Amino acid sequence: MADLKALANAVIGGEQAKAEEITKAALAEGMTAKKVLDEGLIAGMDVVGARFKNNEIYIPEVLIAARAMKSAVGILEPELAKAGVEPIGTFLIGTVQGDLHDIGKNLVAMMLKGAGFNVVDIGVDIGPEIFVKRARESGAQLVGISTLLTTTMPGMDRILKAMKQAGITAKVMIGGAPVTQAYADKIGADGYAADAATAVDVAKALVA
Ligand code: B12
């Protein structure tokens, strides 16, 4: 039986090869990608987050852990993305200007793909002009904005205002650790979700 505690520890220790190996073994045994993600990878990253917060570890360790998590998530992606044939709609997603965090955004993108959305991921550190341009080009029905930093949260408001001004009618969803439903209401976003699975439910409801 693949050991998900060992997988969490591999993420915590930044052991990329080990994280990949346990992830592959878990899938080969028939464990669901969601279980591997929640109980192995995210559980490990939660510990990393707590240790980082308490100054027990520093950015290099976090980066190494993030790299291990990313490559293991890459192995899960085809499973998470076993999509329906016809896309439900196009979902454009990016991280706010000044913010380089992308693990959560990538998970949301993956889960949306899995649920049958055509996902256009425009990356990190993205300002309002690029959100407007890419939303227009892609004809997205939904735009998702992610941020992990309280200092970059106001960037979400700026993106919403720029989209409105440019006449973009796509519905907007926001998320990321410091974001709340109250903040979404305050800036007039159409949806908020605290995690990737809920993001899929909210996105589906918004395009229905
Ligand atoms: C990994 C990490 C990093 C990595 C990022 C690597 C990468 N490629 O992403 C590195 C080392 C680069 C980093 C850098 C920094 N970080 Co950092 N980082 C983290 C850490 C430990 C984990 C974040 C993570 O990936 N979580 C796992 C994912 C799965 O969760 P998530 O992102 O929350 O996403 C979920 C939901 O929020 C939601 N969601 C996310 N996006 C969206 C979007 C939509 C549309 C929806 C609907 C939902 C949704 O669904 C996701 C999946 O379930 C957090 C601590 C923590 N526990 O959050 C700190 C944290 C976010 N970082 C922090 C800080 C301060 C920094 C730095 C400023 C540190 C520094 N002094 O330089 C820099 C900033 C660099 C920059 N300009 O962006 C602070 C932020 C404090 C704050 N409130 O502002 C945190 C909270 C740590 C702390 N407690 O101090 N960091």
Place of tokens 């050991």: 3
177 alpha carbon to ligand 1 midpoint, in Å? Answer: 7
Report CA(208)–ligand 1 centroid distance (Å).
Answer: 31
Pairing of strands 118-121, 90-95: parallel
Task: Determine the distance separating the centroid of ligand 1 and the alpha carbon of 148, expressed in angstroms.
Answer: 4
**Tens of pLDDT, residues 167-181:** 999 999 999 999 999
Decide: helix, strand or coil at residue 96.
strand
Residue 91 bridge partners (DSSP):
119, 142
Mutate to test the pocket of ligand 1, among 101, 111, 146, 179 (most ligand atoms within 8 A of CB): 101
- Per DSSP (E only), the strands in the chain are 90-95, 118-121, 142-146, 171-175, 191-192
Residue nearest to atom 59 of ligand 1 (CA): 49
Q: Give the least confident one: 49-58, 94-103, 106-115, 174-183.
A: 106-115
The pLDDT tens digits of the residues spanning 192-204 come to 999 887 898 899 9
CA of 84 to the centre of ligand 1 (A): 30
Cβ–Cβ < 8 Å for 172, 189: yes
Rounded CA-CA distance 111/79 in Å is 10
Kindly list the protein residues whose Cβ atom lies closer than 6 A to any atom of ligand 1: 42, 45, 48-49, 52-53, 59, 62-63, 66, 98-105, 107-108, 144-146, 148-151, 173-178, 193, 195-196, 199
What distance in Å separates the CA atoms of residue 103 and residue 100, rounded to the nearest whole number? Answer: 9
Least confident stretch, 8-12, 32-36, 174-178 = 32-36
pTM: 0.82
The pair phi, psi for residue 61, each rounded to 5°, is: -65, -40
